[in-house]
Structure 1
Amino acid sequence: MLIPNEKRILTLLARNGRLSKRDIERLSGLGWATVVKLVSRLEKEGYIQRGGILERPSIGGVKPESYILSKRHPLAVGIDVEYTTTRIYLTNLMLEELASRQVSTPKLGTLESAVDFLENLYRSFGKETLLPHEAIAGIGVGFPTWLVPSGFDTFGLIEAELGKRLQVSVRVDNNVRAYTSFKHASDKANNNFILVTIRSGIGVGIVLNGKLYRGAEGKAGEISHFVIVRKGGELCRCGKRGCLETVVNQNVLVEEYLKRKGLRDTDTPMQKVFTEASGGDCDAQEILDGAARNLAYALSALILSININRVYLAGHFGASGQVFCQKVEEYLNELVYPHSSISIQYEDIVDSAFPLGAAMMILQDFCDFSIK
């Protein structure tokens, strides 16, 4: 187990790249003797390695030796389980993609079937990559809340059972919170924001004062189960009817568009709906306007509660994504405080951010990714 000052040094190297001992002394505030001792120990244990001579003078005119993070220690596995697709990544403290694999997510009706799936996926991935199990610091899993009936209770149960079977540290959280962690680590400007993803469901991650906010029971931001349709709504995965997720997700929007057009093309991407709306298609415009209004209605309650004015909306919308965000923004500014200015920024979903964010749940024991 690392001591806090060792973790501080690894964090500095993760943020700054190559550093000399004098750089580490200056940036960490640690004494010279402490830096020399800890750098030597971290190098011996394989956490860092020498990165070559820095082309700048040091004390006495001697060019200093630099240090960088090791690419092979510690290693973590991140798994993103989505309703249709599962991705598994091997990564390090630099969050590099060292190996990856994508498979279809089977129907997981029970906790046991979910753990069986994750165990088999991890073992087969290890065989493919020739990865020694003992080299893995742990496994982080991003998991949809309602993929199996036990909902939020699933996370702790998977951690315990999968960890027992594999004899390795396992941490499980909602997959969108994993994505949000990666977003926060890579975005050095913002310490307060809401991230909304629209895939086959709607996910929300919240960062408050530089920290990922989960709430008292890990349920913070679950606007996907905010009831929009009061009567006659579709049955949701959570067991209620008319939840936001039943009227706003990429599958529902595409299905509604195809229905209006009398088409049956099951391979139509959601991006086409946005493209057609931008081109003046009235059906597509009406569908997206309704989606923007419903999303804004659910988001307004969250924004009014925690007073955040920056929202990132991520999806596979293509070049027209920001136009949709502007519509959501218009509705939101009608619903929240007078004279408020809510900013909604679109970004394409980066699929790798889900498993890499999951791996960060393990790697945070070695590096503080929240430090800007």
Structure 2
Amino acid sequence: MQKYYIGADIGGTTIKMAVITEQGSIHDKWEIPTNHEDNGERIPEEITVSLKEKLPQLNIRMSQVLGLGAGAPGFVDTEMGFVYQTVNIGWKDFDLAKILNKKTGLPIFVDNDANLAALGEKWKGSGEDADNLIAVTLGTGVGGGIVANGTVINGANGTGGEIGHITVIPSGGASCNCGKTGCLETIASATGIVRLAKEAIKRNPDSILSNYFSPDDPLTAKEVFDAAAEGDKEAKEVLAYVTDILGMTIANLAIACNPSKIVIGGGVSKAGEKLLIPLRETFDKYALPRTSEACEFAIAELGNDAGVIGGAFLVKQNI
């Protein structure tokens, strides 16, 4: 009898869910809205209801499900499946695994959503099943996960792998949502790139960058890459600064954990080789030569499916 895993990627707007085979292929996937009422307390019930509605439609019995792996956007005690805090959902000291287990009857495993994306890319994406991998997600913020010797690093209290909150500007840096200043997220995220580009426009209003910006048409990170491709000096300087900071940060991480794969995902990664080539150059500048020799860069392949596939892999690892 065919067995399945369930992956659930819990985000601030939607919860992505999928039924995944033991071999790692998506049998079916769907989304439900994230309910923020009562500080997100209804979410486990709504995941359960959705699952119990969907499985009969797929002719799958609950007894065929080996477990559910869930990703939460916050700090997680992975041994207990306990979520300490999720700013964009409202959970604080929330016993997600226990509640979901009680409602579904399934074995439940929980980790940070970025860690699950890293596991997904490792298992079925561009990580190519590497046992030592760094995954960096460049979106509105900067997320990440580190896999060492086949296991994702969580740390003593769930903050391992929080790459976006490494301090890269020791003093005078921009404020970050985490409460610190000068975090990598303030530089290398889409938001950070746009902030730096707007500062460049103020310095030179005649730049090509300024043609992309108006109060009615907000600037995007993609447009900064487009302006750089057109030869705009300010855009090129912004991206050179971003890739230098990002490349140095990843190089320092790589010296610590010696990965064979570095996977770059998120919306900014859609720049492809325009991002990857200069990033690799700066990485090589800062990394130990032997560390660099062992390491391959790749753009993430799984997109929005990385989290649910990572959730399935989390179950696979633990049952």
Class of the TM-score when normalised by the shorter of the 2 chains:
0.7 to 0.9
Alignment of 1:5-16 (within 5 A): none
1:117 and 1:156 map into 2 onto residues whose CA distance is 11
Aligned length: 292
Whether 2:294 is the aligned partner of 1:359: answer no
How far the C-alpha of 1:349 sits from its partner, in A, is 5.0
Q: State the partner residue of 2:72.
A: 143
The one of 173, 176, 185 aligned to 1:236? 176
Q: State the partner residue of 1:169.
A: 107
Alignment of 1:192-211 (within 5 A): 192-211=132-151
Against the structure 1 CA distance between its residues 233 and 119, is the aligned structure 2 distance closer, same or farther, given a 3 Å change threshold?
Answer: farther
How far the C-alpha of 1:90 sits from its partner, in A, is 1.6
Q: State the partner residue of 2:274.
A: 323
Whether 2:120 is the aligned partner of 1:185: answer no
Q: Secondary structure, in 3 states, of the residue corresponding to 1:190?
A: coil
Against the structure 1 CA distance between its residues 340 and 138, is the aligned structure 2 distance closer, same or farther, given a 3 Å change threshold?
Answer: closer
Residue type at the aligned position of 2:107: S
2:103 and 2:42 map into 1 onto residues whose CA distance is 10
For residues 152-176 of structure 1, give each alpha carbon's deviation from its aligned partner in whole angstroms, at most 9, with x where no partner exists: 9969822123323433321110122
Alignment of 1:241-320 (within 5 A): 241-254=181-194, 257=197, 260=201, 261=210, 262-264=213-215, 270-308=221-259, 310-317=261-268, 320=271
Q: Secondary structure, in 3 states, of the residue corresponding to 1:184?
A: helix
1:210 and 1:333 map into 2 onto residues whose CA distance is 24
Whether 2:57 is the aligned partner of 1:117: answer no
Identity of aligned residues (%): 23
Residue type at the aligned position of 1:117: I
How far the C-alpha of 1:144 sits from its partner, in A, is 1.8
Against the structure 1 CA distance between its residues 92 and 136, is the aligned structure 2 distance closer, same or farther, given a 3 Å change threshold?
Answer: same
How far the C-alpha of 1:333 sits from its partner, in A, is 2.5
| Greater relative contact order (Cα < 8 A, sep 6+) | 2
How far the C-alpha of 1:107 sits from its partner, in A, is 5.3
How far the C-alpha of 1:101 sits from its partner, in A, is 1.8
1:107 and 1:347 map into 2 onto residues whose CA distance is 30
* Ranges in structure 1 where 5+ consecutive residues have no aligned partner: 1-45, 47-69, 367-372
RMSD: 3.5
Residue type at the aligned position of 1:180: A
For residues 85-105 of structure 1, give each alpha carbon's deviation from its aligned partner in whole angstroms, at most 9, with x where no partner exists: 431112221223222223454
Work out whether residues 138 and 266 of structure 2, in 8 Å CA contact, stay in contact via their aligned partners in 1: yes
The one of 11, 17, 28 aligned to 1:88? 17
Against the structure 1 CA distance between its residues 142 and 323, is the aligned structure 2 distance closer, same or farther, given a 3 Å change threshold?
Answer: same
Q: Secondary structure, in 3 states, of the residue corresponding to 1:334?
A: helix
For residues 293-334 of structure 1, give each alpha carbon's deviation from its aligned partner in whole angstroms, at most 9, with x where no partner exists: 221232233122223364221233466322312222222233
The one of 93, 99, 111 aligned to 2:28? 99
1:149 and 1:364 map into 2 onto residues whose CA distance is 23
* Ranges in structure 2 where 5+ consecutive residues have no aligned partner: 77-82, 202-209
Of residues 172-181 and 276-285 in structure 1, the stretch that sits farther from structure 2 once superposed is 276-285
How far the C-alpha of 1:181 sits from its partner, in A, is 1.9
The one of 162, 165, 178 aligned to 1:222? 162
For residues 21-59 of structure 1, give each alpha carbon's deviation from its aligned partner in whole angstroms, at most 9, with x where no partner exists: xxxxxxxxxxxxxxxxxxxxxxxxx2xxxxxxxxxxxxx
Residue type at the aligned position of 1:286: E
Q: Secondary structure, in 3 states, of the residue corresponding to 1:205?
A: strand
How far the C-alpha of 1:244 sits from its partner, in A, is 1.4
Against the structure 1 CA distance between its residues 318 and 157, is the aligned structure 2 distance closer, same or farther, given a 3 Å change threshold?
Answer: closer
Against the structure 1 CA distance between its residues 118 and 235, is the aligned structure 2 distance closer, same or farther, given a 3 Å change threshold?
Answer: farther
Work out whether residues 83 and 200 of structure 1, in 8 Å CA contact, stay in contact via their aligned partners in 2: no
Work out whether residues 9 and 113 of structure 2, in 8 Å CA contact, stay in contact via their aligned partners in 1: yes
How far the C-alpha of 1:115 sits from its partner, in A, is 4.3
Higher-Rg structure is: 1
Work out whether residues 113 and 307 of structure 2, in 8 Å CA contact, stay in contact via their aligned partners in 1: yes
Against the structure 1 CA distance between its residues 299 and 319, is the aligned structure 2 distance closer, same or farther, given a 3 Å change threshold?
Answer: closer
Work out whether residues 191 and 210 of structure 1, in 8 Å CA contact, stay in contact via their aligned partners in 2: yes
Whether 2:298 is the aligned partner of 1:345: answer yes
Against the structure 1 CA distance between its residues 291 and 116, is the aligned structure 2 distance closer, same or farther, given a 3 Å change threshold?
Answer: farther
1:265 and 1:287 map into 2 onto residues whose CA distance is 23
Alignment of 1:43-54 (within 5 A): 46=1
Against the structure 1 CA distance between its residues 321 and 214, is the aligned structure 2 distance closer, same or farther, given a 3 Å change threshold?
Answer: same
Against the structure 1 CA distance between its residues 319 and 220, is the aligned structure 2 distance closer, same or farther, given a 3 Å change threshold?
Answer: closer
For residues 321-363 of structure 1, give each alpha carbon's deviation from its aligned partner in whole angstroms, at most 9, with x where no partner exists: 2231222222223323367635433345521121121122223
Residue type at the aligned position of 2:117: Y
